């Protein structure tokens, strides 16, 4: 990495704390940490920087003293000059800079590293399906050259800079997932990443509690284009009505040098289009069209129509990056087809002795729940269907209406039993018509639902468990696995 201290200070601004070691133009760092637990006793940290970022449950400024004592050469601290003065006295050769926003400083340091590298950046955002799309796109571009990606769920203001700082010099493509909680965050990440290709999976109801409307969510997601120009490409879900207006929204908000906007989806007019989709118990197939021309029948090793969007975004990315027709057919599409549930880290389908379990306990937006109920209906066919559905969080004023709407979908898909988990999920039963044959049962906690799970799971049935991570729905999945593994 080797970024000079002078370069960092010039980029982040701030004030050098009196008593700091007098650095020279040649002094540099080649490692950045935000967690002092990564510093081992007796380690050499003469080329290490510690950034005292402040999170929801921690404040890195509480650890600048230990970082100095451990021998960290360069520390970026908050605005508390007295605390920084005390810390600098604890180090032997330590430079400490105080600034107002250490998180922004971290991003700017990552930006220096970005300037030093020559990779093609692909930014992925959206209300639902970001991580899945990231994994599919990573597979696609890996067929074209060495690629990197954000690990796990490192999609925030700490994880994205950390990813950029870790990218090796010979990487040709970097796929960066960009999450957000409010306005300005995607812009911050886009400034760090400076994507050549941006992908927006959809505009959904997630974050309505914070942003207030889906139009505001769209504006927040379109911030990915703030550091893109007319030579870049923005791939958007063409089936999403809000994204179909992306160019107009960018233009109306004063965006100059708007990137080329290309659509993917199922609708007529989408440049990268899927037709004749077939979902089976082990695969999802579709006819791929590019620019209205049939390319080939594609078979994915994952189950569900929503995976088709990720596949289209991945194939589209490779295409706009200049992949030849032969590379697309012989390298890219086979790689995309090789994605398995373990790659996405989300939905898992288990064919067990006593029945089938669809386990998806990571998030629970209305869009994602509806998609999973569709998969449940397809996999179960005429067989018995049970759904354990947890609270959908961060929906704000539309929470009751969205939960009620899920009840209607459960009836339409003829789900036999719906177990509602949580106070908000109790509203699901209110959406089904009076004549509905669906049985609705409510529990306040996942622990209670898990304890009673055997009452609602029949031999040979298909069971969906869907809920946000905060609802701890994994307890229910584990119990159902146990039940199915013990049935003949």
Surface-to-core class of residue 267, CB atoms within 10 Å of its CB (0-12 exposed, 13-18 middle, 19+ buried)? middle
CA distance 75 to 66: 11
Per the CB < 8 A criterion, the answer to whether 218 and 207 are in contact is no
DSSP strand E in 106-265: where? 120-125, 147-149, 173-177, 197-200, 233-237, 260-265
**What pLDDT is recorded for position 346?**
66
The residues, ordered by sequence, that sit 6+ positions from 88 with a Cβ below 8 Å of its Cβ are: 17, 18, 19, 20, 68, 94, 96
Surface-to-core class of residue 370, CB atoms within 10 Å of its CB (0-12 exposed, 13-18 middle, 19+ buried)? middle
Which among 90, 61, 135 is positioned nearest to 345, based on CA atoms?
135
> Given its phi and psi angles, is residue 355 left (phi above 0), alpha (psi -120 to 50 degrees) or beta?
left
**What pLDDT is recorded for position 361?**
84
Per the CB < 8 A criterion, the answer to whether 237 and 264 are in contact is yes
Tokens of 363: 């998030």
Eight-state DSSP code of residue 140:
H
DSSP secondary structure string for all residues of 356-371: EEEEE-S---HHHHHH
| Residue given tokens 């000059």 in the structure block | 81
Sign of the Cα torsion 51, 17, 68, 113 reads positive
Distance from the first to the final alpha carbon of the chain: 57
Tokens of 478: 């584990």
Would you place residue 467 in the very low, low, confident or very high pLDDT band (cuts 50, 70, 90)?
A: confident
CA distance 460 to 21: 70
Q: What are the domain boundaries of the chain?
A: 3-105, 117-344, 348-485
CA distance 12 to 102: 9
Would you place residue 90 in the very low, low, confident or very high pLDDT band (cuts 50, 70, 90)?
A: very high
Would you place residue 261 in the very low, low, confident or very high pLDDT band (cuts 50, 70, 90)?
A: very high
Q: Which fold has domain 348-485?
A: 3.90.190
pLDDT digits (tens, 9 = 90+) for 280-339: 878 899 999 999 999 999 999 988 888 999 999 999 999 999 999 999 999 999 999 999
Which among 294, 23, 243 is positioned nearest to 125, based on CA atoms?
243
pLDDT digits (tens, 9 = 90+) for 396-420: 889 999 999 999 999 999 999 999 9
Q: Is the pLDDT of residue 488 over 60?
A: no
**What pLDDT is recorded for position 351?**
87
Q: What is the pTM of this model?
A: 0.85
**What pLDDT is recorded for position 34?**
94
The strand pair at 355-360 and 385-390 is best described as unpaired
Beta-bridged to residue 272, according to DSSP, are 264, 290
CA distance 108 to 102: 10
Per the CB < 8 A criterion, the answer to whether 140 and 315 are in contact is yes
The count of C-alpha atoms lying within 13 angstroms of the C-alpha of 45, restricted to the half-sphere facing its C-beta, is: 27
What would be the CATH architecture of the domain defined by 3-105? 3-Layer(aba) Sandwich (3.40)
Burial 471-483 (b: 16+ CB within 10 A, else e): bbbbbbbebbbeb
Could you give the C-alpha distances from 324 to 172, 199, 228, in angstroms and in order? 17, 21, 24
CA distance 146 to 171: 5
Per the CB < 8 A criterion, the answer to whether 120 and 173 are in contact is yes
pLDDT digits (tens, 9 = 90+) for 115-173: 999 999 999 999 888 999 999 999 999 999 999 999 988 999 999 999 999 999 999 99
pLDDT digits (tens, 9 = 90+) for 203-246: 988 777 788 899 999 999 999 999 999 999 999 999 999 999 99
DSSP strand E in 102-196: where? 120-125, 147-149, 173-177
- Lateral strand order in the sheet of 439-443: 348-352, 355-360, 461-466, 385-390, 417-421, 439-443
Q: Is the pLDDT of residue 348 over 90?
A: no
pLDDT digits (tens, 9 = 90+) for 376-388: 998 888 899 999 9
Q: Backbone phi, then psi, for 287, in 5-degree steps?
A: -85, 125
In this prediction, residues 350-368 reach a mean pLDDT of 88
Residue 11: Cβ within 10 Å count = 15
* Rounded percentage of the chain residues whose pLDDT exceeds 70: 99
DSSP strand E in 137-270: where? 147-149, 173-177, 197-200, 233-237, 260-265
The CATH code of domain 117-344 reads 3.40.1190.10
- Mean pLDDT (the chain) is 93
């Amino acid at each position: 990495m080797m970024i000079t201290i002078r370069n960092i200070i010039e980029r982040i601004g701030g004030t050098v704390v009196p008593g700091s070691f007098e650095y020279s133009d040649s002094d540099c760092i080649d490692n950045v940490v935000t967690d002092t637990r990564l510093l081992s006793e007796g380690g050499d940290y003469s080329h290490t920087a510690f950034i005292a970022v402040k999170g929801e449950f921690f404040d890195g400024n509480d650890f600048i003293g230990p970082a100095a004592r451990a021998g960290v050469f360069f520390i970026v601290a908050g605005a508390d000059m007295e605390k920084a003065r005390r810390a600098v006295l604890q180090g032997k050769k330590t430079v400490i800079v105080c600034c107002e926003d250490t998180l922004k400083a971290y991003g700017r340091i990552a930006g220096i590293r970005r300037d030093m590298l020559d990779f093609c950046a692909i930014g992925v955002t959206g209300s639902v399906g970001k991580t899945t799309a990231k994994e599919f796109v990573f597979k696609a571009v890996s067929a074209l050259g060495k690629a990197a990606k954000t690990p796990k769920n490192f999609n925030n203001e700490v994880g994205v800079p950390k990813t950029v700082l870790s990218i090796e010099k010979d990487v040709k493509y970097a796929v960066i997932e960009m999450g957000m909680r409010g306005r300005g965050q995607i812009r911050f990440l886009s400034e760090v990443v400076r994507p050549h290709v941006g992908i927006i999976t959809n505009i959904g109801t997630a974050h309505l509690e914070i942003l207030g409307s889906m139009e505001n969510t769209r504006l927040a997601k379109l911030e990915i284009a703030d550091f893109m120009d007319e030579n870049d490409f923005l791939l958007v879900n063409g089936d999403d009505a809000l994204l179909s207006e992306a160019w107009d929204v960018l233009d109306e908000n004063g965006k100059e040098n708007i990137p080329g906007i290309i659509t993917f989806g199922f609708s007529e007019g989408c440049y990268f289009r899927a037709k004749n989709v077939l979902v089976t118990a082990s695969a999802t197939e579709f006819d791929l069209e590019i620019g209205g021309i049939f390319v080939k029948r594609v078979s994915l090793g994952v189950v569900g129509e929503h995976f088709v969007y990720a596949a289209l975004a991945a194939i589209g990315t490779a295409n706009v990056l200049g992949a030849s027709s032969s590379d697309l057919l012989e390298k890219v599409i086979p790689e995309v087809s090789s994605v398995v549930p373990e790659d996405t880290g989300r939905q898992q389908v288990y064919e067990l002795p006593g029945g089938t379990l669809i386990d998806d306990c990571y998030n629970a937006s209305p869009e994602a729940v509806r998609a999973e109920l569709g998969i449940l209906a397809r996999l179960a066919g005429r067989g018995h269907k049970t759904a354990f559905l947890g609270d959908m969080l961060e929906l704000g004023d539309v929470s009751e209406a969205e939960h009620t709407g899920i009840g209607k979908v459960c009836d339409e898909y003829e789900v036999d039993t719906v177990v509602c988990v949580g106070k908000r999920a109790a509203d699901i039963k209110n959406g089904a018509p009076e004549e509905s044959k669906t049985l609705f049962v409510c529990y306040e906690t996942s622990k209670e639902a898990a304890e009673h799970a055997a009452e609602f799971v029949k031999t040979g049935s298909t069971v969906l468990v869907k809920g946000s991570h905060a609802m701890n729905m994994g307890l229910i999945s584990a119990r159902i696995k146990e039940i199915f593994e013990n049935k003949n």
